[in-house]
Amino acid sequence: MKKYLVFLEQRDGIVKNTSLELWHKLQELAALHHNIVVCGILVGGVNLQQLAAELFGKGVIYHAGDERLMLYNSAYYAQIVAELFQREAFQALFFADTILSRELAPKLSVLLHASLLSGTPIFDGAGVDCGSVRPVYSASAAVSFQPERSTRIYTVTSFLKSENTLSTRHIEFKALEPHCFFDVDNSFPFIRRVVMLEGVQDLTEAAIIVGGGRGVGSPEGFVLLEQLALLLGGVPGASRAVVDEGWRPHSEQIGQTGRMVTPLLYFACGISGSVQHLAGIGSATTIVAINSDPHAPIFDSADFGIIGDVSLVLPKLIAALQDFLKKK
């Protein structure tokens, strides 16, 4: 029997969608292979009833709900996860790839002496984890990694597609009493303050992104992109060039030195399509490129393309979209 532990990341008492998706993907795996057991760990206060209503699958979710654990603290979180992992003899720990897990996973790798792999996890015919695959060198190559240790940690950026749909709901919550010492020395570094941006959907969780580059022409030109994004229920994104110019904030930057995004639909407006930018949108399902240069490299990576000036194309696109949505 192999036991997998899924870290369910919460912020402000809400479990992140990426964690829920990961839970469900692993539960699908467990449904196929009866020697695989998937459990979860949740640190910080969460409305368990609400959570239970969102979850499918079968397994135990360990919950450390102490108030002092609400805000992320690397020392406490690592200790709680490590303790449970060892006590219940899990084989592998899974995280959705987030800012938090990028900090916590390496720490746990050392604490647990576990192989740390990131990307898309690979499972063998018996559902046992055996490594991961991910892009490197600005997504010009794919590397497969193999764990050398018997315990493993995965930070999952994407999952291989599965056909299963879960219908069982058999989640058991077990309270975890952490043995960590909530003392001053242990608590550093601690979060003094978290400022959340109002109503902003995070780029890495957005299904639709409208990205803009130098071809947008000016900071004012981005108003059209924001309008399109709003209509689509998506978010704006930016290339490195316009962030460097100061037209858009760094939090919107997509690419090798910005964010890696996985939207279903990505618009590249006035973006030439440098290797570094493409590395950030590699996993986008459908890419639409709008560029006045017919030889822009972006067209080699796009599903659909319109050759034209962004400032002329977008208003027409927005009008066409408004018509389409009205008819729906």
Partner 1 sequence: MNIAVCVCQVPDTASVIGFVDGTRDLSRVNEVMNPYDEYALEEAVRLKERFSGSVVTAFSVAPPSAKEMLRKALAMGADRAVLVSGTEVSDPYQTALALSRSLSSYYANTLPDLVFCGKQSTDFQSAQVPLMLAELLGMGAVAGIRSLSTSAEGLRAEREIEGGVESYDLHYPALFSVEKGLNIPRKTTIKSVIEARKKTIDIFPLSLDATPFVVMKTITPLERKKKCQFVLDEKELIRLLGEERNLL
Question: Considering only residues 68-87, where is the footprint of partner 1 by CB under 8 A?
Answer: 72, 74-75
Size of the site for partner 1 (CB under 8 A): 88
Residues in 266-325 at the binding interface with partner 1, rule: CB under 8 A: 275-276, 278, 282, 286-289, 299-307, 313, 316-317, 319-321, 323-325
Nearer residue to partner 1 within complex by CB, 42 or 203? 203
Distance CA 152, CA 150 (A): 6
8 A C-beta contact, residue 267 and residue 228: yes
Nearer residue to partner 1 within complex by CB, 69 or 289? 289
For residue 107, CA distances in Å to 56, 76, 184, 219, 290 come to: 30, 12, 20, 40, 43
Candidates 161, 179, 193, 295; binder of partner 1 (CB under 8 A) is: 193
Q: Are strands 129-136 and 152-156 parallel, antiparallel or unpaired?
A: unpaired
Distance CA 251, CA 120 (A): 24
The reply on whether position 250 binds partner 1 by CB under 8 A is: yes
Minimum gap (Å) between residue 137 Cβ and partner 1: 5
Residues in 103-132 at the binding interface with partner 1, rule: CB under 8 A: 103, 105-107, 109-111, 113-118, 131
Candidates 83, 158, 201, 227; binder of partner 1 (CB under 8 A) is: 201
Binding mask 17-46 for partner 1 (x = CB under 8 A): ------------------------------
For residue 131, CA distances in Å to 165, 277, 303, 320 come to: 24, 27, 31, 46
Minimum gap (Å) between residue 327 Cβ and partner 1: 9
Candidates 47, 124, 264, 293; binder of partner 1 (CB under 8 A) is: 264
Nearer residue to partner 1 within complex by CB, 53 or 196? 196
Residues in 145-184 at the binding interface with partner 1, rule: CB under 8 A: 145-149
Backbone angles phi and psi of 14, in degrees to 5:
-110, 130
For residue 257, CA distances in Å to 165, 260, 277 come to: 36, 9, 9
Distance CA 13, CA 315 (A): 40
Binding mask 203-232 for partner 1 (x = CB under 8 A): xxx--x-----------------------x
| 253 strand-pairing partners | 238
| 154 strand-pairing partners | 94, 117
Candidates 52, 200, 223, 230; binder of partner 1 (CB under 8 A) is: 200
Helix (H, G, I), strand (E, B) or coil at 305: strand
Instruction: Give the N- to C-terminal CA distance of the chain in Å, as an integer.
Output: 50
Minimum gap (Å) between residue 60 Cβ and partner 1: 27
Nearer residue to partner 1 within complex by CB, 53 or 246? 246
Nearer residue to partner 1 within complex by CB, 127 or 273? 273
8 A C-beta contact, residue 147 and residue 131: yes
